[in-house]
Every structure is written in C-alpha cells, then in structure tokens.
Chains A and B, each alone.
Chain A
C-alpha cells in the first residue's frame, strides 16, 4: 500500500510564514503594541524621575560629578530651618489655595450651570485666567503688589483716600504669603469651575424634578443630589488641584523668588534655588524628592477619602 502525501512546496504555500505566525501570537502582539508607549514612558518619565532620585543620594554640583552620599542630603534638610519653612508654607499654600479655588470654583460652576443670556460668552471669559501664561499672570500680580506702584494702593490712597500709605503686600512674611495664595486662587478658579461645570451637566435633570415633586428645598437638592453626584469629579479635580498647587513654581518664583527672608519658598522654588541657582544639584534633587511623600499622602487622602462610594450614596462612613 502506498501513502500519498502533499509535496513540500504545496505545504509551504498553505502554512503561514513564521512572521505571520508570530504576529498571530497574542502575547507577542500585546508586547509589540505596548512597546512604544513603554519606551516613551521609560525615556521621558522613568529616566528623569530615576535620575532625580539618584541625584538626591549624591553630592553632585553643577560642573562637578558627585559621589553617592546616602542619606546625607536628607539628613541635612532635616536640620535646615529653610526646608522646614518651605514644608510649612507648601502645606499652608496648598491647603488654603485649594480650599479657596474649590469654594469659589464650585460656586461659579453652580452659577454657570443656570440658564441666562450670553452664557457661552461668560464661560469663555471665566477661562481667561487659565489660558494666560503663568509668567504673564505672575508679572501682572507683581505689578499689582508693587510696594510703590500698586494699583490697589493707588485706589485706596489717592482715589478713595481710605489709607494714607501704600500697602506693603510683599515686604513682610504673612502678607506676602497670602498675596501669593490669592494669586494662585485667581489663576486656579477656572480649572475647578469648568471641570465641575462639566460634572454638573452630567447630573440627570429628572433627579431634581423628582426631588422638587417631593418638596425638597434648594439646599436639600444640593445636599442630597448635587453634592453626592459630584463626588467622583470633585475627587479627581481636587487631586489634580492639590498636585498643581503643591508643585507650583512660576507664580512664586516670578513674584517673590522666595522672599522676603525666604518666607515664601515652596518646596519647588527652594529645590530650584538650591539645585540650579546655588548649583547643589544633589541637594536640590533631595528637596524635590522630599515632595513625593506629601504628594502621595495628599493624593491618596483626597482621592480615596472623597471618592468613597458610600458617601456618594448618602450613607454613613464605615
């Protein structure tokens, strides 16, 4: 008995090539599709972050390669009153500015969610502080706060005669700190307002109609419908807001450069001052790295604290 088989060229024609088979192999395909993204992340995110963390453990300066010094930079920072001052102000700055931005931004979002003439135009105007480059905003505030030429002082002293001397906005620590916080709030309101407005518009009007039929007051509608339904977007927006505020640099550096008397240094401005202007790259990197625990804590707190599903359902915390 003879067995007939297909000739090998015919077999080759039917079987796909190794390349085709490779691309049909799902795990390989997944790796290939993800590789560009992973490569980009590695080059533009992981490498700089890793380098920054590595530098924090060295005594590198500008113009001189450093050696590994372990925790020396961090130990020094713990004894450095300016670092503690920057930690203190970074927390205060973030807390007050975030609260201010959310209070005013939420209020503005609720107003903009109503029907009124020229609504679109007004929404566009609200965005202005957000789209102006930060440095330009900072320069504008620098003029507004100028000890000799402030427009606010001019109005109060020369026009309204409510004061006899100019306001020294930036000449002493607390007024300078609050002046910067005010500038940050002004700049951050549009982001919060527009984001929350988008969230408000996702709430079904039928919920409000049902509540009104039940006789709910406007406060009750806000308390039991708007606020819980907004929690997820509030959590996300607050997380971003905390990160942006805590890592703020341009406003502070352009207006006060950390003065007077180093009282307005945020961790970001202090890191730049030490690392770039002062040339202590290792120490500057250590200051930047020291921001990470604060950011992680604030992010986890705002995200998990505010995003609890039971809150959104109006139930008690567990």
Chain B
C-alpha cells in the first residue's frame, strides 16, 4: 500500500498539530460551523502576482504557525507567493503610516481597529469580499461592521480578523471572602467591593498610566458606564459633559482603594501584580488567565480566577470595546485581486477556524457563524470572550471613527484626564475642560 503524503497533506497535518498543541482542538475535527452556499466574487488573480503583508506579532506561537500554514496553503492553491512579516504592536502604526505616505511597501497590512479610517484614501474597497464572507458566515458582528465600514456607508475599507476584549479578571475566593460572588453591576456596588478588597489586603488595580490597552480600557469603561462619551453620533465633542464629571468623581472615589502605583502602570503591570497575588481584581485580556494556567506555579491562581464583562453602570450593555485586527489592501498594490483573494481565503472556514482555535480565545471572531468554533467550548472561563465583537462600543464612541479618535487614544488624553482627577492634581471640571481643549485640537480638521 502506498502512503504518499503530499505537500498539502503535510501542511494540513502541521496545521492540525499546531492547533491541537495550543488548544487541544483538532483543526478540522467535528466542525460545527455552517457556511452558506453563496457565489464568491470574481477575482481573477493577476499573472505573476506575489504579495507582501505585515501583521502584528503573534501573542501565542500557534497564531503565527497556523497563519503561516494558511498562507502557504494559499500559495499551493493559487501559485501566488505570500511573504508575511510579523512586526511589534507598537511599530505597526508607524509602518502603516510610512507605507501609506510613500505609496510603496506591503500590499496588505493587518493593523489595529481604526487604521483603515486613517488611511482611507490610500486603500481599495473590499466590499465584494466583505459581502461574500458576511453572507456565507452568518453576517458581520457589530464591532466588525463599525471598524470595517467607512463612516455612514456600506463601503468596506477593512476586513476585521478578530478582536481581543479586556473584561474584569478577579479572584473568586477573595471576592467571596469579602461577601461578593461577583463584581456588582452598579458604581456604588463596585466602590463598596473595592473598599472591602482594600481592607482585606488584596485590593483592586486598574491601569491609570500611559498604557495603550489597559489604561484606555479603564478610562473608556469609567466614561461609558456613566453614559459619557468622547463624541456624539454626529461627531460633536461631548467629553466635557455632566456625565464625564460624574465618571471622574467616581474615579476619584475609587482610586484610593487601588493598590499603590497604578498611575505609573503600563500594559504589563496589572498582569504582574495579579500573578504575584498583590491584587484580586483588574481588567485584562484572556492572556493573563492563560499565562497563569500554563505555569504550574500559578495554576492554582488560574483555577481561582473568573472573568466578567465590564459592569454596565448606567449603560444598557457592558461597555467593553475590543482591540481589533483589521486588514487593509493598499492602492499601490500591483495585485489587488490577489490581495483580496488572499484575505477572502484566510477568512474561509478551512483556514479561519483552525486559526481561531489556535488562538485559544485571544482573538474573537468577526463573523457570527464562527461563534460555533470549538475553542469557545473548551474552557468555560474563556467562553465570555466569544462575544467580544458583539460590542457596540469602540474607540471614538459614539461618533464617526477618524484620525482624531485614534490620536486621542494614542495620546492618552482620556487616561490623563482620569489620572489627574484620581491623584488630586485637577478637579473633575478642570480635567474635563483640559481634555476637551486637547481633543478640539485633534478634531479641528474633522468637520
């Protein structure tokens, strides 16, 4: 009996092995994902096409392994060579800016959330691919639509690949020891819990330093849970509002219950403090839980850890946005059809599902049908991340996404507003007025 293994078989085996190693989920085993029979857009691949793409560096090794294997499969199937470069998260914005400004460089960049809105004039439309995969896989989720579509239109300028949420992470036993089963949904209840945690010597800690992910996450939550927002739906600045003042007053009350030093925390500080059992409550992505679970020395902490969506406060739903991977194709690409075909291929079930599973819940799907992926049923503590892209909150909420909304986040304007009030350096009114002045500067060209 012959036992020939083709290159494709080998790739598939490697892909499955990487997925199993990461999650215990076989790549193609018993897939529950339904794909509708929808005609694919006609994308005749240009003769001699080759592609170069950039994407943020992997968080888990299997992310990169499966992504590369999928790209190799695309090459095998179409003959289009794809060179994938992984770059640091802090560098992707600068490299995208250089690519956009110079009109040279990668054909495709997977950037973060609002990147396509910043470089919209330099990108080709992806509506045909977006419509196809949307219809095929149960529709795009709200956060994907928000970041993928041009403002107030049905034109797709980005193809979201997934989002990472930052819900609450807490020690169940410690919360129980101070009389709580979970974190209350109202502001007074959260304050009460944090005060009791502090008295118990296991305080809460939320980043108030210049931390891109966790700092902005906390500031946004504080504002949104009070129905405060940077902009209204028309794009008018509403940051200096009575809702913002209420949020800042709450932060001022909450801050003394935190562990010392949160105003200097960066994105890794809360992970380390939680892992060292210095704090019992923070907000973070699933990465913290997984790093605890993987290390035998901290497995007990992982077993005692629970996740919870950010409390609503006075908002209608949990105000949690997700850091979104968002793919763009540049106009300078000589092979736009090949680029679009590649992205479409990567979002198809045969490629996307193993990749999603390989990420262990770190990235949540942008398309509804992938909610049935096996990764979401492997660990009940990860299930909560499944609906990350169902959120209607986003950076720049509740107005149109623009360069300015991205700049406000990158310049830590909202974090500094909260931090200055928390530390007593400014009154809520003064801090809101200063944030408004800074935002006006960023938004002066958006009208």
A→B interface (CB under 8 Å): 59, 61-64, 76, 81-82, 145-149, 165-166, 168-173, 176, 256-263, 273-274, 276-280, 283
* A176: B residues at CB distance < 8 A: 264
Q: Is B210's CB under 8 angstroms from A259's CB? A: yes
Complex-state Cα separation, A176 to B410, whole angstroms: 22
Contact with A along B107-148 (1 / 0, CB 8 A): 000000000001100100000000000000000000000000
- Chain B nearest CB from A170 CB (Å) reads 4
Interface size class of B (residues with CB under 8 A): 35 or more
Given contacts A62-B97, A64-B403, A257-B210, contact A278 B263 (CB under 8 A): no
B interface list, Cβ under 8 A from A:
93-94, 97, 100-101, 118-119, 122, 208-210, 259-266, 269, 272-273, 276, 278, 403, 406-407, 410-412, 416, 419-420, 423, 425, 434, 438, 441-442, 445
Could you tell me if A148 and B403 are in contact, using CB atoms closer than 8 angstroms?
no
Whole-angstrom CA separation of A172 from B424 in the bound complex: 10
Cβ-defined contact, A168 with B210, below 8 A:
no
Q: In the bound complex, how far is the Cα of B403 from the Cα of A149, in angstroms?
A: 38
Contacts of B259 in A (CB 8 A): 147-148
A148 to B100, CA, bound (A): 42
Is the pair A279, B416 in contact by a Cβ cutoff of 8 Å? no
B407–A260 touching, CB < 8 Å: no
Contacts of A276 in B (CB 8 A): 94
Contact B261 A168 (CB under 8 A): yes
Are the C-beta atoms of B260 and A171 separated by less than 8 Å? yes
- Cβ of B260 and Cβ of A258 under 8 Å apart? no
Q: Which of A165, A166, A259, A263 has the most chain B CB within a 10 Å cutoff?
A: A259
Interface-central residue, A260, A262, A273, by most chain B CB under 10 Å: A260
The answer on a CB contact under 8 Å between B263 and A149 is: no
12 contacts between A and B (CB under 8 A): A61-B445, A62-B97, A62-B101, A63-B100, A63-B118, A149-B272, A172-B263, A261-B263, A263-B425, A277-B93, A278-B407, A280-B441
A257 touches B425 (CB 8 A): no
Q: When chains A and B are docked, how far (Å) is the Cα of A171 from the Cα of B262?
A: 7
> For A278, what are the chain B residues with a Cβ–Cβ distance below 8 Å?
407, 410-411, 442
A59 touches B263 (CB 8 A): no
* Contact, CB under 8 Å: A63 / B263: no
A224 CB to closest chain B CB (Å) equals 48
A149 to B93, CA, bound (A): 31
Query: What 8 A-B pairs have minimum CB-CB distances, sorted nearest first?
Result: A147-B261, A170-B264, A260-B263, A257-B210, A278-B411, A62-B97, A277-B410, A278-B407
